[in-house]
Structure 1
């Protein structure tokens, strides 16, 4: 039976960047990805791609940034006083912290510059601005 809105599915997947490198795979997590179609728990393009498939069916598809993690936005670069950063972790360029956004969601914030007085964070998702290719197989629906 074809997968539709509201169905719970289990999917084995491999996610690739344009250079062929793997950025994520269900094998890494030791189990298939399970989600409810249309539930908003996966990126829109992935959610759309499983609709109409059946158990055992395989598919390869490419998502442009707007259907994945969005475009990279310079507006999501923010510099704050070092005094405002409360963390037991040592701060260094390249390190990622998880911060709570005003609406309660936790988002990654990567340090891209550090001075004695200020910290500059990049709040873009690490995959923002990137096209993603997925190879999937539906294992349960």
Structure 2
């Protein structure tokens, strides 16, 4: 189980003392670190990003997520569920509740020549897209390359600082949150309980049905339309 060390800080406001529950959409600030090294791997707080001299071109802003929807890793969900709006907390998450343990079967040996035929010149630490799957180059030696197809944070214990800013009831923001989770490239507009998704290109009906089902599962009392 993920161990939590909660702070007792609560920001005053109209939603203070409201408890977060599964199915709620919440606006969060967080800083995620690899526990062993303190290295930041993800965050939403621009001030900390500047202080740590992280990617200056990235956009740092609070995240909206639906608790219990699968948007967040299991250990994150468990630690936020039941907490007060406005609360700040810190907790550790074991690999089992984060990105899983490393799977040895996902570490593969390949030929340097094969990669070079694809115009890839691998170096240790590089991330590659191999047939749609991300792999990390673990070593390059003697014409052989070891590729690791595990998630880059698999096997890592994580440490989070989190602030629950507020509960989001605006349905357009809720829809946008789920669309972002699904990775659907589209523009969203919302009117009279209908979410209209303007797709970048036409997609099969089966995909539209899946998107619509996910939206209606997490956002109550809406209809979904698609345009191109």
Q: Describe the shift of the 1:71–1:26 C-alpha distance in structure 2 as closer, same or farther (beyond 3 A).
A: same
Q: How many Å apart are 1:84 and its aligned residue?
A: 6.7
Partner of 1:65: 95
Q: How many Å apart are 1:75 and its aligned residue?
A: 1.8
Report the secondary structure of 1:72's partner residue. Answer: coil
Partner of 2:126: 95
Is residue 7 of structure 1 aligned with residue 51 of structure 2? no
Q: Which moved more, 1:25-34 or 1:54-63?
A: 25-34
Partner of 1:122: 148
Partner of 2:218: none
Name the CA distance, whole Å, in 1 between partners of 2:75 and 2:133: 20
Q: Which structure exhibits the higher relative contact order, with contacts defined as CA atoms closer than 8 Å and separated by 6 or more residues?
A: 1
Partner of 1:24: 42
Is residue 139 of structure 1 aligned with residue 170 of structure 2? no
| Structure 2 gaps, min length 5 | 1-17, 50-58, 168-228
Contact 2:115 2:121 in 1 (8 A): no
Contact 2:43 2:60 in 1 (8 A): no
Aligned length: 136
Name the CA distance, whole Å, in 2 between partners of 1:85 and 1:67: 37
TM-score scaled to structure 1, two decimals? Answer: 0.80
Contact 2:137 2:148 in 1 (8 A): yes
Q: Which moved more, 1:35-44 or 1:16-25?
A: 16-25
Name the CA distance, whole Å, in 1 between partners of 2:106 and 2:67: 29
Q: Describe the shift of the 1:87–1:42 C-alpha distance in structure 2 as closer, same or farther (beyond 3 A).
A: farther
Report the secondary structure of 1:125's partner residue. Answer: coil
Is residue 45 of structure 1 aligned with residue 75 of structure 2? yes
Q: Larger helix proportion, structure 1 or 2? A: 2
Higher Cα radius of gyration: 2
